[in-house]
Amino acid sequence: MGEEILSMKGVNKSFPGVQALKEVDFSCRQGEVHALVGHNGAGKSTLIKVLGGVYTADSGEIYLHGKRFKPDSPLDGTLAGISIIYQEFNLVPDLSVAKNMFLAREPRTKLGFLDQRSMIRKSRQLLERLSVENVTPVDYIRDLSVNQMQLVEIAKALSVKADIIVMDEPTAALPISDVQKLFDTIHKLKAEGVTIIYISHRMEDIFEVADRVTLMKDGRMIATLEVEGLDHNTLIEKMTGRSITDFFPPRTSYEENKKTVFEVNGLKSTAMKAAVSFKIREYEIFGITGLEGCGSTELARALFGVDRIESGEVQFKKEGIKISTPREGLFQGFGYLTKDRRKEGLLLGASLRENIAIPSRVKKHRGYFLDLKKELAQVERIAGEMNIRAGSLNIESKDLSGGNQQKVILSKWLLTECKILIVDEPTRGIDVDSKVEIYQLMRNLVESGVVVIVLSSDMEEILGLCDRILVLHRGEPKAVLNWEKATEHIILLAATGSELDQDGEPTSKMNGSNGERI
């Protein structure tokens, strides 16, 4: 590993009512992967925005290659060889992949004209370097999936030929197959002498790619540790002050004779590849998982009325439910936390208060006038119960941390007093403390009688949180597993298409109509 390439000393940054950075010292070596971790609001994003020239530090010094560096704009950071991949995509939807990669840096011919061929060729080379499939340089960003956009952002960063690349939650939106491709790319960049600052809430990422890890809390640096010799539990305890065994709340005792409260029979929408059936019993968190493209999100969209249902029926407490629009889903008692919270879950320009209140206004309001005083009291109550950390209820949702944004979305459904809550990737891109709070909330909800359906690709989350688990393969149910028998190995067997017997071994003895093991 090389010599020190970056040094930030005594950096302070304040915003109205908040000191985001407090005497921060941070350094990186050439050719290392340096992880930066801490809960949402710890100051990680503020620190990299100071480094990248988005914010100007109130005080402190930055040295790059041993020379004083004082960026006044993002362009200064780019010209100095710093490329930042933000968690919130910085792409223009109505431009092609190639034009996004080279925006404001378009290659020109000798006569000064746009060199379209060169731009497309270079873009294709970058996509091939990341082994990106099903994306071409001429595709429009608006037509890409979330994980495809994430890979384009990474390719865009590589196009700068930076000495330092900052990756803010780069795997949060990626399926397992693309995560490994990203890790392979990181190892190659490291071998080429590129320094990577890696921000993530995924502990497994840190142990896979990082050389050192720095912990932040409340705007301060807590410690910098060598990853070699560090174990998962120790890192968690240093970050949160709690053992990993305290992550998931205790389960309610599992009983086969618990009555069924929610039932899906032969449900198929226009977007689903196969009909799905399952039953949910009282007081259990029901998990749905599989590999990327397994069909879990399409199932959730069908249940909430986003996609048109072609066949099948849904029952809640033995009463049939018919849903053809999200509005009907809302009135039937459903809540739906989507996978993409920023695009589909929030009105980013609206206040925290508005985001929480709007669904309840639609569901409960019958007169011409709103009781704003009563509504404010309800929003304050739910925001307090959810431990949403914000200086004011009037703060715009786009300015909240990822964990707080997720809590806002959960709050709005809780305020509607929903009876069936569907959560798609509930803890993607949020800090450890917020994860623990959300897990406890979901356990409290099922114990109060709410049906909770968790869709997740996080195997630790599925195994640690859910009482029973439906495994899908290309839209088709392959198994429903009790948590006591479920393991990562068994789930992956089913997720890749194997039929399982009672002991989790491959077999053809499976009732394909409802996914229950014989």
Question: pLDDT tens for residues 359-385?
Answer: 888 877 655 567 788 888 999 999 888
Instruction: Give the range among 141-145, 231-235, 344-348 with minimum mean pLDDT.
Output: 231-235
- Find the mean pLDDT for residues 237-266: 77
* pLDDT surpasses 50 at 517: no
Indicate whether 321 and 203 sit together in one domain.
no
* AA identity, residue 31: G
> Which residue, 407, 436, 47, is CA-closest to 237?
436
| Cα separation, 129 vs 450, whole angstroms | 47
Q: Which ranges constitute the DSSP H helices of 6-51?
A: 44-51
* pLDDT surpasses 80 at 267: yes
Find all residues with CB under 8 Å of 352, minimum gap 6, and list them.
383, 388, 390, 392, 393, 394, 395, 396, 397, 400, 408
Assigned token pair, 517 = 């093991």
Indicate whether 217 and 97 sit together in one domain.
yes
Task: Write down the mean pLDDT value for the chain.
Answer: 86
Q: What is the pLDDT of residue 366?
A: 58
Q: What is the pLDDT of residue 258?
A: 80
Number of Cβ atoms within 10 Å of the Cβ of 232: 12
Q: Of 197, 217, 244, which residue sits at a domain end?
A: 244
Q: Confidence class of residue 489 from pLDDT cuts 50, 70 and 90? A: confident
Please report, for the domain that includes residue 274, its CATH number: 3.40.50.300
* pLDDT surpasses 60 at 509: no
- What does each C-alpha distance from 383 to 380, 388, 410, 447 come to in angstroms? 5, 5, 10, 21
- What does each C-alpha distance from 496 to 141, 394, 472 come to in angstroms? 30, 46, 9
* pLDDT surpasses 80 at 241: no
Indicate whether 239 and 253 sit together in one domain.
no
Q: Of 244, 266, 283, which residue sits at a domain end?
A: 244
| Cα separation, 437 vs 404, whole angstroms | 11
Q: Of 225, 244, 263, which residue sits at a domain end?
A: 244
Q: What is the pLDDT of residue 255?
A: 61
Indicate whether 264 and 240 sit together in one domain.
no
Cβ(184)–Cβ(216) under 8 Å?
no
- Number of domains present in the structure of the chain: 2
Q: Can you name the residues that pair with 477 across neighbouring β-strands?
A: 472
Q: Please count the residues of the chain.
A: 518
Quote the domain boundaries for residue 307: 247-333+419-518
| Dihedral of the alpha carbons of 387, 432, 396, 359, in degrees to the nearest 10 | -60
Indicate whether 240 and 251 sit together in one domain.
no
Indicate whether 291 and 166 sit together in one domain.
no
* pLDDT surpasses 70 at 154: yes
Indicate whether 148 and 215 sit together in one domain.
yes
- Find the mean pLDDT for residues 442-469: 92
* pLDDT surpasses 70 at 513: no
* AA identity, residue 298: E
Indicate whether 294 and 218 sit together in one domain.
no
| Cα separation, 171 vs 309, whole angstroms | 32
Place of tokens 């362009």: 75
Q: Can you name the residues that pair with 362 across neighbouring β-strands?
A: none
Of residues 415 and 237, which shows the higher confidence score?
Answer: 415
Q: What is the pTM of this model?
A: 0.66
Within-domain flag for 72: yes
Instruction: Give the range among 162-166, 200-204, 306-310, 362-366 with minimum mean pLDDT.
Output: 362-366
Q: What is the pLDDT of residue 507?
A: 59
